[in-house]
Amino acid sequence: MARAMNTRDPIPASALPGSATREGALAPPSERRRGALHALIATIRLKQWTKNALVFAAAGAAGALGDDEVPPRVAIAFVAFCLLASGIYAINDVRDATEDRLHPRKRHRPVAAGELEPRTAVALGIGLMVAGLALCAALSALLAVVGAGYLALTLSYTMVWRYIALLDVGAIAGGFVLRAVAGGVAAPVTLSRWFVLVISCAALFVAGGKRHSELRRTAADGSSRREVLEHYGEPWLRLTVIGSAVCAAFAYCVWASQLPVIDGIPWRPLTIIPFVGCLLRYGMLLRAGEGESPEELLLRDRWLLSLIAIWLVLFGFAVHDVT
Protein backbone atom coordinates (compact mmCIF):
# COMPACT_ATOMS: atom_id res chain seq x y z
CA MET A 1 0.00 0.00 0.00
CA ALA A 2 1.36 3.38 -0.92
CA ARG A 3 2.00 5.52 2.05
CA ALA A 4 -0.06 8.67 2.45
CA MET A 5 1.65 11.91 1.57
CA ASN A 6 3.09 13.61 4.61
CA THR A 7 2.31 17.28 4.83
CA ARG A 8 5.99 17.86 5.47
CA ASP A 9 7.05 16.13 2.26
CA PRO A 10 8.71 18.60 -0.10
CA ILE A 11 6.49 19.95 -2.83
CA PRO A 12 7.86 19.13 -6.30
CA ALA A 13 9.46 22.15 -7.95
CA SER A 14 7.29 21.69 -11.01
CA ALA A 15 4.18 22.31 -8.90
CA LEU A 16 5.26 25.74 -7.75
CA PRO A 17 3.84 28.81 -9.51
CA GLY A 18 6.19 30.12 -12.14
CA SER A 19 8.39 27.01 -12.02
CA ALA A 20 9.99 25.53 -15.11
CA THR A 21 9.14 22.11 -16.41
CA ARG A 22 10.48 20.51 -19.54
CA GLU A 23 7.47 21.90 -21.38
CA GLY A 24 6.94 24.84 -19.05
CA ALA A 25 6.58 28.47 -19.90
CA LEU A 26 8.44 30.18 -17.10
CA ALA A 27 11.75 29.56 -15.41
CA PRO A 28 12.05 29.71 -11.62
CA PRO A 29 12.66 33.28 -10.48
CA SER A 30 15.68 32.08 -8.48
CA GLU A 31 17.34 30.82 -11.68
CA ARG A 32 16.52 33.60 -14.12
CA ARG A 33 15.90 36.61 -11.92
CA ARG A 34 17.77 39.70 -13.09
CA GLY A 35 18.61 42.77 -11.09
CA ALA A 36 16.77 46.04 -11.65
CA LEU A 37 19.51 47.57 -13.82
CA HIS A 38 19.88 44.45 -15.93
CA ALA A 39 16.11 44.28 -16.38
CA LEU A 40 15.98 47.90 -17.53
CA ILE A 41 18.79 47.32 -20.03
CA ALA A 42 17.08 44.19 -21.33
CA THR A 43 13.84 46.15 -21.79
CA ILE A 44 15.39 48.76 -24.11
CA ARG A 45 16.70 45.95 -26.38
CA LEU A 46 20.09 47.22 -27.45
CA LYS A 47 20.41 44.59 -30.19
CA GLN A 48 17.43 46.05 -32.00
CA TRP A 49 19.17 49.40 -32.31
CA THR A 50 20.81 47.95 -35.44
CA LYS A 51 17.53 48.70 -37.24
CA ASN A 52 18.14 52.40 -36.68
CA ALA A 53 21.30 52.26 -38.80
CA LEU A 54 18.88 53.04 -41.64
CA VAL A 55 19.05 56.63 -40.42
CA PHE A 56 22.50 56.80 -42.04
CA ALA A 57 21.26 55.37 -45.35
CA ALA A 58 19.96 58.54 -47.03
CA ALA A 59 23.01 60.67 -46.24
CA GLY A 60 25.29 57.81 -47.25
CA ALA A 61 23.46 57.26 -50.52
CA ALA A 62 23.77 60.96 -51.33
CA GLY A 63 27.49 60.96 -50.50
CA ALA A 64 26.91 63.56 -47.80
CA LEU A 65 28.56 61.73 -44.89
CA GLY A 66 31.87 63.31 -45.86
CA ASP A 67 30.53 66.81 -45.11
CA ASP A 68 31.64 68.23 -41.78
CA GLU A 69 28.17 68.98 -40.40
CA VAL A 70 26.29 65.94 -41.65
CA PRO A 71 27.74 63.05 -39.55
CA PRO A 72 27.02 64.71 -36.17
CA ARG A 73 23.48 65.58 -37.24
CA VAL A 74 22.75 62.08 -38.48
CA ALA A 75 24.37 60.58 -35.37
CA ILE A 76 22.03 62.64 -33.17
CA ALA A 77 19.06 61.47 -35.25
CA PHE A 78 20.26 57.88 -34.80
CA VAL A 79 20.38 58.29 -31.02
CA ALA A 80 16.96 59.96 -31.06
CA PHE A 81 15.37 57.06 -32.93
CA CYS A 82 17.06 54.55 -30.63
CA LEU A 83 15.40 56.33 -27.71
CA LEU A 84 12.04 56.42 -29.48
CA ALA A 85 12.22 52.74 -30.39
CA SER A 86 13.28 51.68 -26.90
CA GLY A 87 10.46 53.71 -25.38
CA ILE A 88 7.98 51.87 -27.58
CA TYR A 89 9.51 48.51 -26.65
CA ALA A 90 8.97 49.29 -22.96
CA ILE A 91 5.32 50.24 -23.50
CA ASN A 92 4.71 47.19 -25.71
CA ASP A 93 6.22 44.86 -23.11
CA VAL A 94 3.57 45.96 -20.62
CA ARG A 95 0.72 45.57 -23.09
CA ASP A 96 1.94 42.22 -24.40
CA ALA A 97 3.07 40.67 -21.10
CA THR A 98 0.33 38.01 -21.03
CA GLU A 99 0.92 37.00 -24.64
CA ASP A 100 4.71 37.08 -24.21
CA ARG A 101 4.53 34.53 -21.39
CA LEU A 102 3.30 31.96 -23.92
CA HIS A 103 6.16 32.62 -26.36
CA PRO A 104 9.32 30.44 -26.14
CA ARG A 105 11.67 33.43 -26.34
CA LYS A 106 9.63 36.51 -25.40
CA ARG A 107 8.65 34.97 -22.05
CA HIS A 108 12.09 35.99 -20.78
CA ARG A 109 11.41 39.70 -21.28
CA PRO A 110 11.61 41.49 -17.91
CA VAL A 111 7.94 42.48 -17.61
CA ALA A 112 6.65 39.08 -18.73
CA ALA A 113 9.10 37.33 -16.40
CA GLY A 114 8.04 39.46 -13.41
CA GLU A 115 11.43 41.14 -13.11
CA LEU A 116 10.21 44.67 -13.89
CA GLU A 117 7.07 46.32 -12.56
CA PRO A 118 4.66 47.42 -15.32
CA ARG A 119 4.45 50.99 -13.97
CA THR A 120 8.24 51.21 -14.00
CA ALA A 121 8.33 50.04 -17.63
CA VAL A 122 5.65 52.58 -18.59
CA ALA A 123 7.57 55.40 -16.89
CA LEU A 124 10.75 54.30 -18.66
CA GLY A 125 8.96 54.19 -22.01
CA ILE A 126 7.43 57.65 -21.66
CA GLY A 127 10.73 59.14 -20.53
CA LEU A 128 12.63 57.64 -23.49
CA MET A 129 10.04 58.80 -26.01
CA VAL A 130 10.03 62.35 -24.65
CA ALA A 131 13.85 62.42 -24.75
CA GLY A 132 13.85 61.11 -28.32
CA LEU A 133 11.38 63.72 -29.53
CA ALA A 134 13.36 66.45 -27.75
CA LEU A 135 16.52 65.41 -29.61
CA CYS A 136 14.63 65.43 -32.91
CA ALA A 137 13.27 68.90 -32.20
CA ALA A 138 16.76 70.12 -31.31
CA LEU A 139 17.87 69.35 -34.88
CA SER A 140 14.81 70.55 -36.79
CA ALA A 141 11.07 70.91 -36.53
CA LEU A 142 10.63 68.65 -39.57
CA LEU A 143 12.63 65.86 -37.92
CA ALA A 144 10.39 66.20 -34.85
CA VAL A 145 7.39 65.70 -37.15
CA VAL A 146 8.98 62.55 -38.61
CA GLY A 147 9.77 61.31 -35.10
CA ALA A 148 6.19 61.96 -33.99
CA GLY A 149 4.95 60.14 -37.10
CA TYR A 150 7.15 57.17 -36.23
CA LEU A 151 5.70 57.10 -32.71
CA ALA A 152 2.15 57.39 -34.04
CA LEU A 153 2.69 54.55 -36.50
CA THR A 154 4.35 52.16 -34.08
CA LEU A 155 2.00 52.84 -31.18
CA SER A 156 -1.06 52.51 -33.43
CA TYR A 157 0.44 49.26 -34.71
CA THR A 158 0.36 47.95 -31.15
CA MET A 159 -3.24 49.05 -30.69
CA VAL A 160 -4.76 48.40 -34.13
CA TRP A 161 -2.67 47.37 -37.13
CA ARG A 162 -1.14 44.25 -35.60
CA TYR A 163 -4.58 42.63 -35.63
CA ILE A 164 -5.31 43.33 -39.32
CA ALA A 165 -3.80 41.14 -42.02
CA LEU A 166 -1.69 42.99 -44.63
CA LEU A 167 -1.80 46.23 -42.68
CA ASP A 168 0.35 44.74 -39.91
CA VAL A 169 3.12 43.93 -42.41
CA GLY A 170 2.72 47.36 -43.99
CA ALA A 171 3.04 49.06 -40.61
CA ILE A 172 6.24 47.17 -39.78
CA ALA A 173 7.70 48.13 -43.17
CA GLY A 174 6.59 51.73 -42.66
CA GLY A 175 8.67 51.96 -39.51
CA PHE A 176 11.80 51.10 -41.50
CA VAL A 177 10.97 53.65 -44.19
CA LEU A 178 10.46 56.42 -41.62
CA ARG A 179 13.91 55.72 -40.18
CA ALA A 180 15.46 56.28 -43.60
CA VAL A 181 13.39 59.42 -44.14
CA ALA A 182 14.53 60.72 -40.76
CA GLY A 183 18.15 60.41 -41.85
CA GLY A 184 17.46 62.39 -45.00
CA VAL A 185 15.71 65.12 -43.04
CA ALA A 186 18.49 65.27 -40.42
CA ALA A 187 21.31 65.62 -42.99
CA PRO A 188 19.45 67.27 -44.82
CA VAL A 189 19.55 65.68 -48.30
CA THR A 190 17.04 65.14 -51.07
CA LEU A 191 15.68 61.62 -51.14
CA SER A 192 15.65 59.89 -54.52
CA ARG A 193 12.34 58.28 -55.41
CA TRP A 194 14.15 55.11 -56.43
CA PHE A 195 16.03 55.10 -53.14
CA VAL A 196 12.76 55.34 -51.18
CA LEU A 197 11.32 52.53 -53.31
CA VAL A 198 14.35 50.33 -52.56
CA ILE A 199 13.95 50.93 -48.81
CA SER A 200 10.19 50.33 -48.97
CA CYS A 201 10.48 47.03 -50.86
CA ALA A 202 13.38 45.80 -48.72
CA ALA A 203 11.39 46.68 -45.58
CA LEU A 204 8.37 44.76 -46.89
CA PHE A 205 10.71 41.84 -47.65
CA VAL A 206 11.95 41.76 -44.04
CA ALA A 207 8.47 42.29 -42.54
CA GLY A 208 6.91 39.57 -44.69
CA GLY A 209 9.78 37.24 -43.82
CA LYS A 210 9.21 37.90 -40.14
CA ARG A 211 5.58 36.82 -40.35
CA HIS A 212 6.47 33.86 -42.59
CA SER A 213 9.02 32.55 -40.07
CA GLU A 214 6.62 33.05 -37.17
CA LEU A 215 3.87 31.19 -38.99
CA ARG A 216 6.18 28.25 -39.74
CA ARG A 217 7.44 28.06 -36.16
CA THR A 218 3.98 28.03 -34.59
CA ALA A 219 2.77 25.45 -37.11
CA ALA A 220 5.76 23.21 -36.37
CA ASP A 221 5.72 23.29 -32.56
CA GLY A 222 2.00 23.82 -32.03
CA SER A 223 2.59 26.84 -29.80
CA SER A 224 0.14 29.71 -29.51
CA ARG A 225 0.29 32.30 -32.27
CA ARG A 226 -0.69 35.92 -32.63
CA GLU A 227 -4.26 36.43 -33.79
CA VAL A 228 -3.40 37.96 -37.16
CA LEU A 229 -1.51 34.84 -38.26
CA GLU A 230 -4.83 33.01 -38.50
CA HIS A 231 -5.58 35.15 -41.56
CA TYR A 232 -2.31 34.37 -43.33
CA GLY A 233 -1.37 31.40 -45.44
CA GLU A 234 2.21 30.35 -46.03
CA PRO A 235 1.88 30.54 -49.86
CA TRP A 236 0.65 34.14 -49.66
CA LEU A 237 3.47 35.19 -47.34
CA ARG A 238 6.00 33.41 -49.55
CA LEU A 239 4.65 35.33 -52.55
CA THR A 240 4.96 38.60 -50.60
CA VAL A 241 8.57 37.84 -49.69
CA ILE A 242 9.56 36.87 -53.25
CA GLY A 243 7.68 39.75 -54.87
CA SER A 244 9.13 42.40 -52.56
CA ALA A 245 12.64 41.00 -53.05
CA VAL A 246 12.30 41.16 -56.84
CA CYS A 247 10.96 44.73 -56.66
CA ALA A 248 13.78 45.76 -54.29
CA ALA A 249 16.40 44.28 -56.63
CA PHE A 250 14.87 46.00 -59.68
CA ALA A 251 14.58 49.39 -57.96
CA TYR A 252 18.16 49.11 -56.68
CA CYS A 253 19.45 48.30 -60.19
CA VAL A 254 17.74 51.40 -61.57
CA TRP A 255 18.99 53.60 -58.72
CA ALA A 256 22.56 52.24 -58.87
CA SER A 257 22.74 52.75 -62.62
CA GLN A 258 21.75 56.42 -62.56
CA LEU A 259 25.24 57.79 -61.88
CA PRO A 260 27.78 57.93 -64.72
CA VAL A 261 30.85 55.69 -64.78
CA ILE A 262 33.92 57.50 -63.42
CA ASP A 263 37.50 56.61 -64.38
CA GLY A 264 36.20 53.56 -66.23
CA ILE A 265 35.07 51.71 -63.07
CA PRO A 266 31.31 51.42 -62.44
CA TRP A 267 31.55 51.32 -58.65
CA ARG A 268 27.90 52.07 -57.98
CA PRO A 269 26.55 49.42 -60.41
CA LEU A 270 29.01 46.92 -58.92
CA THR A 271 27.20 47.28 -55.58
CA ILE A 272 24.25 45.51 -57.20
CA ILE A 273 26.08 42.17 -56.82
CA PRO A 274 26.40 42.15 -52.99
CA PHE A 275 22.96 43.76 -52.63
CA VAL A 276 21.27 40.99 -54.59
CA GLY A 277 23.49 38.50 -52.73
CA CYS A 278 22.08 39.79 -49.42
CA LEU A 279 18.53 39.31 -50.67
CA LEU A 280 19.27 35.77 -51.82
CA ARG A 281 21.07 34.83 -48.61
CA TYR A 282 18.29 36.27 -46.46
CA GLY A 283 15.76 34.38 -48.57
CA MET A 284 17.67 31.13 -47.95
CA LEU A 285 17.56 31.78 -44.22
CA LEU A 286 13.82 32.44 -44.39
CA ARG A 287 13.34 29.17 -46.21
CA ALA A 288 15.21 27.45 -43.37
CA GLY A 289 12.67 28.89 -40.92
CA GLU A 290 14.71 31.82 -39.63
CA GLY A 291 13.88 35.50 -39.87
CA GLU A 292 11.55 35.99 -36.92
CA SER A 293 14.23 38.21 -35.32
CA PRO A 294 15.88 40.09 -38.23
CA GLU A 295 18.32 42.01 -36.03
CA GLU A 296 19.71 38.83 -34.46
CA LEU A 297 19.92 37.11 -37.83
CA LEU A 298 21.87 40.03 -39.27
CA LEU A 299 24.39 40.00 -36.43
CA ARG A 300 25.11 36.27 -36.41
CA ASP A 301 25.12 35.17 -40.05
CA ARG A 302 28.63 35.35 -41.50
CA TRP A 303 27.51 35.34 -45.11
CA LEU A 304 25.21 38.31 -44.58
CA LEU A 305 27.91 40.19 -42.69
CA SER A 306 30.46 39.47 -45.43
CA LEU A 307 28.13 40.62 -48.20
CA ILE A 308 27.30 43.81 -46.31
CA ALA A 309 31.02 44.49 -45.81
CA ILE A 310 31.65 44.05 -49.55
CA TRP A 311 28.74 46.34 -50.32
CA LEU A 312 30.11 49.01 -47.97
CA VAL A 313 33.56 48.88 -49.56
CA LEU A 314 32.22 49.16 -53.11
CA PHE A 315 29.78 51.88 -52.13
CA GLY A 316 32.56 53.74 -50.35
CA PHE A 317 34.59 53.79 -53.58
CA ALA A 318 31.51 54.97 -55.48
CA VAL A 319 30.92 57.86 -53.08
CA HIS A 320 34.64 58.78 -53.11
CA ASP A 321 34.65 58.95 -56.91
CA VAL A 322 31.49 61.02 -57.04
CA THR A 323 32.66 63.51 -54.45
CA-wise closest residue to 66 among 323, 268, 261, 315: 323
**CATH number, domain containing residue 48:** 1.10.357.140
Chain centre to alpha carbon of residue 248: 18
Q: How confident is the model at residue 320 (pLDDT cuts 50, 70, 90)?
A: low
Tell me the whole-structure pTM to 2 decimals. Answer: 0.80
Higher pLDDT, 179 or 26: 179
Q: pLDDT tens digit string along 86-133?
A: 999 999 999 888 888 887 888 889 999 889 999 999 999 999 999 999
The answer to whether 279 touches 253, Cβ cutoff 8 Å, is: no
Q: Are 148 and 256 contained in the same domain?
A: no
pLDDT at 21: 37
Q: Are 215 and 308 contained in the same domain?
A: yes
- Per-residue exposure over 170-183, b if at least 16 CB sit within 10 Å of its own CB, e if not: bbbbbbbbbbbbbb
Tell me, yes or no, whether 83 lies in a domain: yes
The total number of structural domains in the chain stands at: 2
Q: Are 148 and 204 contained in the same domain?
A: no
Tell me, yes or no, whether 96 lies in a domain: yes
pLDDT at 223: 63
Tell me, yes or no, whether 54 lies in a domain: yes
Owning domain of residue 317: 192-220+227-323
Q: Are 170 and 263 contained in the same domain?
A: no
Tell me, yes or no, whether 305 lies in a domain: yes
Mean pLDDT of the chain: 84
pLDDT at 64: 81
